[in-house]
A and B are shown apart, each in its own frame.
Chain A
Amino acid sequence: MRNSIRIGAVAAASALVLAACGSAPEDETTTTDSTSGTENTAAAESVDFKACMVSDSGGFDDKSFNQSAFEGLERAESELGVEIVTAESTSESDFGPNLEAQVAAGCDLIITVGFLLSQATVDSALENPDVHYAIIDDLADNDFDGTIDAPNIKPITFETDEAAFLAGYAAASATGSGTVGTFGGLEIPSVTIFMNGYAAGVEYYNENAGGDVQVLGLDSFSGGFEDQTQGQNITQGFLDQGADIVMPVAGPVGLGAASAIQSAGDAWLIGVDSDWTQTAPDYADIVFTSVLKNIANSVFDTIDETVNSGFSTDPYLGTLENEGVGVSDFADGTVSDEVLAELDTIREGIIAGDIEPSLAE
């Protein structure tokens, strides 16, 4: 026993020694100056701008809106040459200190992700009138008087119901069973707006194309954005009731829905936020379409605008018109050319304001 430990130790040590036998790099200061100079011109020209971001407690690897926002920030770093600083919040008590640390670090623009950060963002913005702020999925209106609470915050929100409407219409046209489903993570506006638009799209199909498609789950919520088993259970319930297209609006919980649909075999999934054929490639063959919410673009555009033409507090509203929201390509053979043409008309109608993309309250 003791011997084998010794042998193991010798083996491990020699592995370390071998690994450490590489040669030291040459002193680079003189030799590589010219090459690195040419490389620099290829990369984005560096600008003196610090773009910063604070996540909510989901963290930047949440496969959901924190991650999308972070992707936008990274794109700004590589394409605009801005310096980026990020701070993940692990709990609500981190929001304020994270914002303070970013102000102290000299950030020019601080983007906060999610309505939970609303109050902390407003407080920080009022204390630091020279720093610019943007907040995603929130109007920064905590006294509910209909105006932004600080003069230096740009709200970034999305009319996702416009895109979900198109997905709902297409789903209603494609369902074989006459039943489709949806559920949310929590009953919050940024979630229910998807479900609402989806239901409105189905209803529009029923009225205008003479269908009789039923929507399940408009009051179903998984109670959070973590528990994939919940997503699987809810979806299984929908499938048992005959639904064959389900749209989970619950971040990673949707992966549970995807696994239920995959094992059922004859049903489809509608992805949300990003194109799930890309972000969830394991389930690419069951993705009917994805309702896109282009947070990454909005972040990039906001930074771009602030760097190149100055900060503006005009709210950013992602719509079908500016492609802040949209639907990805439909799965092959699910949607007829006829319906695709109708969808184009509907899209025009929504952009023109002729079609109301949400259910009347």
Chain B
Amino acid sequence: MSEQVVTQPGGESPAPDEDRRDWAGTWRQITESSGLVVAMAIFAALVIAGLLVILVDPDVQEAAGYFFSRPGDTFAAAWEAVSSVYGAIFQGAVLNFDSSTFAGTIKPFTQTLTMATPLIFAGLGLGIGFRAGMFNIGAQGQLLIGATVGAYIGFAWHLPFPLHLALAVLGTAVGGALWGFIPGILKAKTGAHEVIVTIMLNYVALNLVAYLLTLEAFLPPGQTNPKSPIVDESAQYPLLLGSQFNLHWGFILALLCAWGVWWLMERSTLGFEFRAAGANARAARTAGMNVTKTTILVMVVAGALAGLAGSAPVLGTEKALTDQTAGSLGFDAITVALLGRSRPLGTVFAAILFGGLQAAGPTLQTVAGLRPDIVYVIQALVVLFIAAPPLVRTMFRLPVPAHEKEVAA
């Protein structure tokens, strides 16, 4: 098997010569890794978001009005503004030192992991698609259909605990897989572009769920609010750390899935075929792989993972289905997969980062009195920098990776 086939730009560079184990070589190795670019992109995003916070802060504006007579005020106000934002993000997403109990102190981090859970699932699914050359925008719809099937099993069937949960979780995966299968087979058999088809299927899914939530079968008896009954306790993820925390076993399942995806992509023949089809579909076909089958399977697996993401809200946190269950998870997950460079471990860390930013929203508002939009600004800036690695390299004067130089030459 030729290693060349699967090495993509932006992926890990080929191992350097063993002889060049000097400091410069090590440095080069670190800087060439996309990990450093990612870290710098996050850093740059935080700095620029900080500048925006300073610019819009009323105290800073007031102090800047007399900058030359007392410049210290401006800097103090700027520092105050930035530290309150990042302080609130830390307090809301990592550790809360204001709390008197240990549980209260670590609660923000458990909340971060809870928020990260659906992003891990969906990010993993999207990552598989990206590495197989499929730009799947449909995680939102796949997640929603998965959540619908899982929630229905959860509230309409009545079974004992482990079995009920297992079936409901399986249901989310099957629902998502079905919604991934449609663009997969359309792409494989007719060449319909997956970007268009998945975007459109998002709308189909949303309106389908809105319709289902007008049917008696999906509503509590006698109710017309578009919100399903609460799923049975036997179908809910048990809490991982007791009732003080919202963190549930879905997080562990997400980590298991991350390991499973790593094994699939790096160790299994099927995963090799996925990657080969992504690197060069024609070459893969010439090498005797069934690219049609691969295309469908990639979308089915990606859909199943996105569907599992739907299990986090309906079986974990909100425990009921509404037409807003998906929120913006399916789209945030695209960012997470890109940030994680489509690798399972990277996706887990990226999801935790984004989960943290989202978990900080309530604290930003209630403690610091800020609008939560700054979180979206940071997320968007991260994406912007990730999407433009040369920009980050130029900003931080990182050398261009060897394999990209070759491409340019």
Contacts and interface: CB of A to CB of B under 8 A. Distances in A.
Interface stretch (B15-23, B216-224, B277-285): B216-224
A116 B365 contact: no
A87 B327 contact: no
B65 A188 contact: no
B141 interface: no
A71 B73 CA distance: 34
Contacts of B333: none
B324 A87 contact: no
Interface stretch (A20-28, A241-249, A310-318, A330-338): A20-28
Contacts of B104: 104
Contacts of A17: 68
A104 B363 CA distance: 10
A20 B66 contact: yes
Interface in A94-108: 94-98, 100-102, 104-105
A86 B225 contact: no
A23 B66 contact: yes
Interface in B26-54: none
A186 interface: yes
Given A88-B372, A119-B320, A188-B224, A94 B362 contact: yes
B64 A19 contact: yes
Contacts of A94: 358, 361-362
B111 A97 contact: yes
B311 interface: no
Given A17-B68, A23-B66, A93-B115, A119 B214 contact: no
A151 interface: no
Given A102-B366, A116-B227, A144 B222 contact: yes
A92 interface: yes
B191 to A, nearest CB: 32
B172 interface: no
A255 B230 CA distance: 35
Interface in B283-336: 313, 317-320, 322, 324-325, 327-329
A283 B322 CA distance: 34
A90 interface: yes
A18 to B, nearest CB: 10
Interface string A24-40: 11000000000000000
A188 B226 contact: yes
Given A88-B372, A90-B372, A105-B367, A97 B70 contact: no
B224 A87 contact: no
B221 A144 contact: yes
A96 B320 CA distance: 13
A189 B246 contact: no
B67 interface: yes
Interface in A196-245: 223
Interface string B190-227: 00000000000000000100100010000011111111
Given A144-B222, A188-B224, A100 B362 contact: yes
A87 B365 contact: yes
Task: Classify the interface of chain B: helix, strand, loop or mixed.
Answer: loop
B325 A92 contact: yes
Interface residues of A, number: 41
B371 interface: yes
Interface string B59-88: 000001111111001000000000000000
Contacts of B67: 20-21
Nearest to B222: A144
Contact of A87 (B226, B313, B362): B362
A187 B318 contact: no
B359 interface: yes
A22 B65 contact: yes
A115 interface: yes
Contacts of A186: 210, 226
A142 interface: yes
A137 to B, nearest CB: 10
Contacts of B371: 88
A92 B365 contact: no
Contact of B362 (A101, A116, A118, A223): A101
Contacts of B329: 91
Contacts of A92: 313, 318, 322, 324-325, 327
A192 interface: yes
Interface string A109-148: 0000001101110000000000000000000001010000
A85 interface: yes
A101 B230 contact: no
B238 to A, nearest CB: 16
A30 to B, nearest CB: 18
Contacts of B66: 20-25
Contacts of B224: 187-189, 192
A223 B210 contact: yes
A24 B324 contact: no
A142 B99 CA distance: 32
A23 B115 CA distance: 48
Nearest to A90: B372
A188 B322 CA distance: 12
B367 A101 contact: yes
B69 to A, nearest CB: 4
A24 B73 CA distance: 9
A102 B364 CA distance: 11
A20 B64 contact: yes
Contact of B324 (A21, A25, A91, A105): A91
A57 interface: yes
A97 B361 contact: yes
Nearest to A60: B371
A93 B70 contact: no
A115 B325 CA distance: 14
Contacts of B365: 85-88, 98, 101
Given A25-B66, A88-B371, A189 B230 contact: no
Contacts of B372: 88, 90
B207 A19 contact: no
B327 A116 contact: no
A142 B230 contact: yes
Contacts of B226: 186-188
Contacts of A95: 318
Given A144-B223, A188-B226, A192-B224, A20 B366 contact: no
A93 B68 contact: no
13 contacts: A19-B65, A20-B66, A21-B67, A22-B66, A24-B66, A85-B366, A92-B313, A92-B324, A92-B327, A96-B318, A97-B361, A98-B362, A144-B222
5 closest A-B pairs by beta carbon, nearest first, are: A91-B327, A20-B67, A101-B362, A24-B70, A24-B66
Interface of B: 64-70, 73, 92, 99, 104, 111, 115, 207, 210, 214, 220-227, 230, 246, 313, 317-320, 322, 324-325, 327-329, 358-359, 361-363, 365-367, 369, 371-372
Interface of A: 17, 19-25, 52, 57, 85-88, 90-98, 100-102, 104-105, 115-116, 118-120, 142, 144, 186-189, 192, 223
